[in-house]
Amino acid sequence: MNPLGWALRSIPLGPLQPLKNVAGSPVEGQRILVTGASSGVGEATARQLAAKGAEVWLVARRLEELQRVATEIEAAGGSARVSTCDLSDLEQVDALVAEVLEAGGVDVLVNNAGKSIRRSLELSFDRFHDFERMMAINYFGPVRLTMGLLPSMIERGDGHVVNVLTWGVQGLAPKFAAYTAAKAALDAFGRIASRELRHQGVTVTNVRLDLVRTPMIAPTDAFDNRPARSPEGAARMLVRACEDRPPEVNTLLGTLGAISGMVAPRVSDLSWNAVDRQLPDSKAARGDR
């Protein structure tokens, strides 16, 4: 696709307004599994989907937080159930798949759970485990879960997978090598799955979010005064993805980053290098306490 077409595809179809209980939403009556649903974007997404009439299946590691979210959703008239799972533990992922299939499967899977690391390569030479744990939670976990649930979707002739990614796979911001590489792997998996499975009734959407103000970015002091999307705003993008099922949902920042990298890669690299030198590693990344 040419840069203009790419940019046009990233433009939302309309303003993303706060969601209300809207009868007739495509997600009404659907069972939707949301990982990382105990806080942040996952929690906000589950709440908004439930308000649209979906039965949400909340998955995360922290049982108490999951129960809190489920109780509040049900108090508001929604439907929710919970399961604990550490997605970096593939045996736990397999157990979750078995539980879901035993209950009849799900209509939509939202791969939201993940972790981020912002650390320069110079501080990572002896930290190969950073790359391993980013792949474990951001790639292997969601792929294992997706592959476990896809056969039931294919058999049913309908299903949808939403992968929560980052605009960094387009912009390739410095100091995010471990995180962005793992998300880029999931991005490629999702796009290929979308092209292979469409004729079988299964669709895949890659949502490439920009910076979201959640506890995940708190250790990076460089983000303290940077503009960031709210979890509720990010959730509206994910709900739109569940309803409309486009192949991609992009932000303006990500689209511009992708275009600049294609049109003028040397200029883009020089620009990012200048930005990188102005934003040093955080205290957390340096190990300062």
Active-site amino acid positions: 179
User: How deeply is 278 buried, as exposed, middle or buried, from its count of CB atoms within 10 A (0-12, 13-18, 19+)?
Assistant: exposed
Give the rounded distance of the alpha carbon of 224 from its chain centre. Answer: 22
For Cα atoms 241, 69, 86, give the angle at the middle one, nearest 5 degrees. Answer: 75
Euclidean distance between CA atoms 254 and 184, whole angstroms: 13
Euclidean distance between CA atoms 158 and 181, whole angstroms: 30
Given the structure tokens 């890669």, which residue do they identify? 265
Q: What is the 3-state secondary structure (H, E, C) of 97-153?
A: HHHHHHCCCCCEEEECCCCCCCCCHHHCCCCHHHHHHHHHHHHHHHHHHHHHHHHHH
Tokens for 84?
């604990």
Please tell me whether residue 163 adopts helix, strand or coil conformation. strand
Please report, as a single letter, which amino acid is at residue 179.
Y
What count of other Cβ atoms lies within 10 Å of the Cβ of residue 88? 19
Give whole-number Cα distances, 101 to 66, 193, 204, in Å: 20, 20, 20
Is 140 in contact with 93 (CB distance < 8 Å)? no
Phi, psi (5° rounding) for residue 113? -60, 140
Close Cβ partners of 161 (under 8 Å, ≥ 6 residues apart): 108, 109, 111, 146, 150, 190, 193, 202, 203, 204, 205
